[in-house]
Amino acid sequence: MASTRNIGIIAGNGVYPSTFARAARAQQMPLQLHVAAFQNETDEAKLHGLIDSLEWMRVGQLGKVIRYFKEHNCTEAIMVGQISPKNLFDLRPDFRLLFMLAKVKERNAESLFGAVAAELEKDGITLLRADSFMSHLLAPEGHIFGPKLKARAWDDVHFGKKIAKESSRLDIGQTVLVRHGTVLAVEAFEGTNACITRGGELGRGKTVTMVKVSKPNQDMRFDIPVIGSQTIRSCADAGVSVIAIEAGKTLMLEKDLVDQLCQEHHITVVGFGA
Q: How far apart are CA 21 and CA 34, in angstroms?
A: 10
In CATH, 5-127 is 1.10.357.10 = no
Report the length, in residues, of the chain: 274
Would the CA dihedral through 123, 120, 25, 218 be positive or negative?
negative
Cα-Cα-Cα-Cα dihedral of 222, 130, 10, 63, to 10°? Answer: -50
Would you say 157 and 270 are in contact if contact means Cβ atoms under 8 Å apart?
A: yes
At 1 the pLDDT is: 54
At 271 the pLDDT is: 98
Q: How far apart are CA 176 and CA 118, in angstroms?
A: 31
At 205 the pLDDT is: 65
Alpha-carbon distances, residue 88 vs 36, 42, 91, 93, 220 (angstroms): 16, 14, 5, 10, 21
Residue numbers in the chain where pLDDT is lower than 70: 1-2, 89, 205
* pTM beyond 0.85: yes
Class of CATH domain 138-272: alpha beta
Domain parsing of the chain, residue ranges:
5-127, 138-272
Give the Cα-Cα-Cα angle 158, 194, 172 (nearest 5 degrees). 55
Write the pLDDT tens digit of every residue in 153-196.
Answer: 999 999 999 999 999 999 899 999 999 999 999 999 888 999 99
